[in-house]
A and B are shown apart, each in its own frame.
Chain A
Amino acid sequence: MKHELKLYCEKSQLAELRTFISKTLIPAKLNDISQNQLILAVEEVCANLIIHSHDCDPHSFLLLNVHLNADTIIFEITDSGKAFNLIEYKSPEVNSVMKERRKGGLGLLLVRKIMDKIEFETNHSINTCRLIKKLNSK
């Protein structure tokens, strides 16, 4: 089954994103903790794109597609902004975030810890980020 959300690049849209993912994940019958983790990971990637690739421009948008399969859940986020390759991005250590009194930097670390696989590709200025979660893993 396929589910799609068009998400405009405003931070206020993040609540809508969470509602959409919660509804979409109902058939997967995940427990509360696992469901919250997936919502969080997708939100972190989207928030990152909205803020850093699209400068919170409400005219641009991201597309989120969710594929619920028998053994995996795949979240595919596409946009046409500045490519942000989160596979190449090096997350800071939690301790250095604390010592440097930084408020950012933890989001993609969460994504890496929650998801089983992250894929990124840019094709004709369309960027696709795929977050893959194996069911019954982690």
Chain B
Amino acid sequence: MLTINKTGEEGYLIISLEGEVDASNSVELDEVIQEVINEDIKNILVNAHELQYISSAGLGVFMSYLEDFKEKNIQFIIYGLNEKVMNVFHILGLDQLMNIKDTREAAEKSLHEA
């Protein structure tokens, strides 16, 4: 089960993920990211505090947009990953390829520094 919410904040948008991302629902995550890119939003934060699980289907969605983010100058920052989920990013070294922060404050700070 996955619930995705978008919240507009001043200067950025937060995509909040709640539940589990696997091959049955990763397309929902894909659609939301595509939507946000189409809306020409340049600062995107992903709140992963309530994300309990992610499989390669979900990781693949993030990975498939990294080049777009670079080309379109989009800041994409994930924050609040729990230990288990962070470990999955780490196994593949994705924590080196993506901007991942512990807290929303750290993510906001990273936006301002960019």
Chain A residues close to B by CB (< 8 Å)? 11-12, 14-15, 18, 32-33, 36-37, 39-40, 43-44, 47, 50-51, 94, 97-99, 101-107, 109-110, 113-114
Contact = CB atoms under 8 A, between A and B. Distances in A.
B88 A110 contact: yes
Contacts of A97: 60, 63-64
Residue among B26, B63, B64, B87 with the most chain A CB within 10 A? B63
A36 B84 contact: yes
Task: Describe A's contact surface by its main secondary structure.
Answer: helix
Contacts of B26: 103
Interface residues of B, number: 29
A110 B87 contact: no
B28 to A, nearest CB: 12
Contacts of B61: 103
A137 to B, nearest CB: 15
Nearest to B60: A103
A103 B67 CA distance: 12
Interface in B1-43: 1, 20, 22-24, 26, 30
B23 A14 contact: yes
